Chains A and B, each alone.
Chain A
Amino acid sequence: MEIPLLKIEDFLVVSLQTELSDREIVELREEILDKIKKTGARGLIVDITALKLIDSFMAKSLSSIADTATLLGAKTVVVGMQPAVALTLVELGLRIKWKIHTALNLERGINLLRKALRSETEAL
C-alpha cells in the first residue's frame, strides 16, 4: 500500500488512514527514514486521526520511528489520537515506553515543532 509522505516547510507529514499490518509498518518505517535523510526534514508529523485502534506493535514501531528520526535530526509529533486509542495505550503503557510528543491536531503539531526548533536554535 502506498502511503503518501508530504513535505510542509521543513516538516514531513504522514497521514495513516487504515490499520497497517506488521509488515506494512516495517516498510513504512524504512520509507519515512529514507525520506527524512533525503529531504533533510527537521520534523516528522504522524497523523493518526483515522485510526481507531493501535496495537502494541504499532505503538512500539511509532516509538522507534521517533527515536530513529531524532537521531537523523527530525523531531517527531503524533497528532489526532482518538480517546479510545489513548486509553488503550495507557493500559499497555506498563510495558511500552512511550516518549513521543503529541498534539491535538495537525495545526498544533506544526506549531509545536516550530517552537521546538526555535528554542533549539536559540540554545545553540
Chain B
Amino acid sequence: MTEQEELVEELSGLLEDNAGDLKMQWVKEMTEMGLLEKLTPIEIEQQSSTIYDTCVLTLKTGMYEAAKKYAREMAKKGVLEAMTVDQIIMGMLKLRDVYGRFVFSKYQSDAEKLYEVLGVYEPVANRILSIVALAFVEERERVIKEQQQAMLALSTPVLQIRDLILVLPLIGTIDSARAAQIVEQLLNSIVDTQASVVIIDITGVPVIDTAVANHLIKTIQAAKMLGANTIITGISPANAQTLVTLGVDLSMLTTRGTLRSGVKLADEMLKIEVVEKR
C-alpha cells in the first residue's frame, strides 16, 4: 500500500466513524442558512445520508461514477422541484467546509500530516463539486433543447382540409432554420397525402422581408416540382407594401386576401363545388 492509499484509507475511515456527528453538524448549518426549507425531515435525513456516503465512497475508491449518477438524479429532481442551483451548490460547499474543518481539528497538532491529508482530500472535494455543477448545467440544457424541439414541431402543423387540399398556417417569425423545417414537412405531407393544392396562410407572420419572401418562393417551387400548386393567403396590407417596396418578384405567386378565398380558389382549381344541403 502506498503512502497515498494509506492516507485515503485513514481519512475515509475517520469520516465513516464520525459520520453521525458530521452529518448532524452539516444539516444543522444548512438549516440555519435556510437551504432546506422545501424538504421534509425524512427527505433531509435520506438525502444528506446519501450525499455524505457517496462523497466518502468516492474518496475511498477514487471512482466518480456513483457521484456522477447521483448528481444527475439530483439535478433532475432539483430542476423539477424548482430548487435553485444556488441552494444545492451552497449545500455542497457547506459539506466541504464541514469535512475540511473536521480534518483541521483532527490533524492540527501535526502540520505536515495535515498538509498531506489536505492534498488527498481537496482534489476529490473539488471534483465532486464540479460534477454537481456540471450535472445542473447539463440538465438545464437538456430541458431547454427538449422545449425547443417541442415548439418547433408544434409551430408548423400541416392540415388536410379536403382530399387534395393542404393548409399550412404559419405563425410567428420565420428564420432559415424554421423555413427549412417548414419546407421539409410540407413536401413530405404532399407526398404522403398526394395533395395537389397547398394553401399557405401567413396571417400570423408579423414581418415579411426579402429573406422570408425567398423562403416562400423556394417552398412554392419545390412543391411545384412535386406536382402541387400553392396559394398564399393572408398577406397584410403593410406586408404587401413592404414586398412591393423591396422589389421582390412575386409574379409566380398565386395570392388571395383571406384563407377563405384561398380555399374557394383551391376548390375551383380542383373543380370542387360546395353545395348547401336541402
Binding site for B on A (CB under 8 A): 78-79, 81-83, 85-87, 89-91, 93, 98, 102-105, 108-109
Which chain A residues border B221 with CB–CB below 8 Å?
A: 86, 90, 93
In this complex, what residue of A is CB-closest to B225? A86
- Given A83-B191, A90-B218, A108-B196, do A102 and B184 touch, yes or no (CB 8 Å)? no
**Could you list which residues of chain B lie within 8 angstroms of chain A, going by C-beta atoms?**
183-184, 187-188, 190-191, 194, 196, 218, 221-228
If A83-B188, A104-B190, A108-B196 touch, does A90 touch B227 (CB 8 Å cutoff)?
no
CB distance from B192 to the nearest CB of A (A): 10
**Is A87 in contact with B194, judged by CB distance below 8 angstroms?**
no
Q: Is the CB of B187 within 8 A of A83?
A: yes
| 27 examples of A-B residue contacts, CB within 8 angstroms | A78-B225, A81-B225, A81-B226, A82-B191, A83-B184, A83-B188, A83-B226, A85-B225, A86-B221, A86-B223, A86-B225, A87-B222, A89-B222, A89-B225, A90-B218, A93-B221, A102-B224, A102-B225, A102-B226, A104-B190, A104-B194, A104-B196, A104-B226, A104-B227, A108-B196, A108-B227, A109-B227
Q: In the bound complex, how far is the Cα of B194 from the Cα of A30, in angstroms?
A: 32
- Residues of B near A81 (CB, < 8 A) are 225-227
Measured between C-beta atoms, what is the minimum distance from A65 to chain B in Å?
16
Residues of A within 8 A of B227 (CB): 79, 81, 102-105, 108-109
Q: Chain B residues near A90 (CB, 8 Å)?
A: 218, 221-222, 225
Is the beta-carbon distance between A87 and B196 smaller than 8 angstroms?
no
- Bound form: Cα–Cα A91–B180 in Å: 12
**Cβ–Cβ contact A86 & B222, under 8 A:** yes
CB-CB nearest in chain B for A102? B227
What is the bound-complex CA distance between A48 and B224, given in angstroms?
Answer: 15
In the bound complex, how far is the Cα of B190 from the Cα of A103, in angstroms?
11
**In the complex, chain B residues whose CB is within 8 Å of the CB of A93:** 221
* 9 A-B pairs with the lowest CB-CB distances in the bound complex, closest first: A83-B187, A104-B227, A103-B227, A86-B225, A86-B222, A102-B227, A90-B222, A90-B221, A90-B218
* CB atoms of A86 and B184 under 8 A apart: no
